[in-house]
Structure 1
């Protein structure tokens, strides 16, 4: 089947081989195969951290009519993708769950400090839950960034506030996704400056759109060296700072 992303699938990469088990064992078994003997909080003083950040915005005030003095002033907030600091790599990830059967896929985009595409990825996980797929997106985004040599400073943005919150605390052993959370925290705590932020969907449009194009991919991980034409327009909007209410 033709790849809708306009790029060759990196089926021979180490990441793709690592997730070949998905086709036979399913995502839950693959998650359980990540072995981390103890919970680790995603904190390293002066090096890494997980934060909640809603992205830069422009507040456009809309006043209520004089006849309704009791109603508070309301604001329309416009949001857009923001450039990282010089030398920092930004990763945007997103998960998607569709259909009555709960088919899940995760996607992500890596961009440099000038907003240029570095790498994209997609993983078809089969059947699962929303939080599960959001964590897969975060885990794979960090793993790919590390594997391609982004060893200085990395910022990851996710529109899953729950995932970001869980990564900022000690994970209990009885949590159903504990192994997945520990895997993410291990990458956060590697020898680099890494932070994870929650942003609204409007600040995460490229990853969000890539996530929508997942149903035609086979099970497993695919990486993309270049964006497709359908994604380029959203990349351009990010470079221009186009805001969305």
Structure 2
């Protein structure tokens, strides 16, 4: 069983049931599908960014690394605080928009 948690519902939708033939990331999504097809059971789940801050920090900094697999023996400096917060079970708030802009007076 493989459990994958992404903070993008759009990405989950693309991987699960969209025609990505003309999508700019179509070949990458096709590779995901091929890889996931090798497992008997795969679960793709949405998780809010605030509940997955270490992954968010790593993803945001990934542009600064070469392509390929990167392994860290310890949390890298840009993700250290998020890692320590997770260890201490620090809560995080989530900003949401309530109402419509046209409702403003």
Q: TM-score range with shorter-chain normalisation?
A: 0.5 to 0.7
User: Does the Cα contact within 8 Å between 1:188 and 1:195 map onto a contact in 2?
Assistant: no
TM-score scaled to structure 1, two decimals? 0.32
Greater strand share, 1 or 2? 1
The one-character-per-residue Cα deviations of 1:100-145 (angstroms, maximum 9, x if unpaired) are xxxxxxxxxxxxxxxxxxxxxxxxxxxxxxxxxxxxxxxxxxxxxx
Greater helix share, 1 or 2? 2
Distance 2:3 2:62 in 1: 24
Q: By how many angstroms is 1:244 displaced?
A: 0.7
Matched, 1:166 2:14: yes
Distance 2:76 2:25 in 1: 33
The one-character-per-residue Cα deviations of 1:180-224 (angstroms, maximum 9, x if unpaired) are 22211112221343211122210121011123334543x422411
Distance 1:214 1:178 in 2: 20
Instruction: Report the aligned-residue RMSD.
Output: 2.5
Which gives a bigger RCO, structure 1 or 2 (Cα 8 Å, sep 6+)? 1
Q: 1:223 to 1:168 in 2, by over 3 A?
A: same
Distance 2:63 2:76 in 1: 16
| Residues paired across the two proteins, number | 92
Q: Tell me which stretches of 4 or more aligned residues in structure 1 moved more than 6 Å.
A: none
1:242 is matched with 90
User: Does the Cα contact within 8 Å between 2:14 and 2:20 map onto a contact in 1?
Assistant: no
Q: Which runs of 5+ in 1 are unaligned?
A: 1-152
Q: Which runs of 5+ in 2 are unaligned?
A: 94-105
Distance 1:230 1:172 in 2: 33
Which of 186, 190, 194 aligns to 2:42? It is 194
Q: 1:176 to 1:220 in 2, by over 3 A?
A: closer
Which of 45, 70, 84 aligns to 1:223? It is 70
Q: By how many angstroms is 1:238 displaced?
A: 2.2
Q: 1:237 to 1:180 in 2, by over 3 A?
A: same
Matched, 1:184 2:32: yes
The one-character-per-residue Cα deviations of 1:2-61 (angstroms, maximum 9, x if unpaired) are xxxxxxxxxxxxxxxxxxxxxxxxxxxxxxxxxxxxxxxxxxxxxxxxxxxxxxxxxxxx
Select the structure of larger CA radius of gyration: 1
User: Does the Cα contact within 8 Å between 1:171 and 1:182 map onto a contact in 2?
Assistant: no
Distance 1:173 1:164 in 2: 16
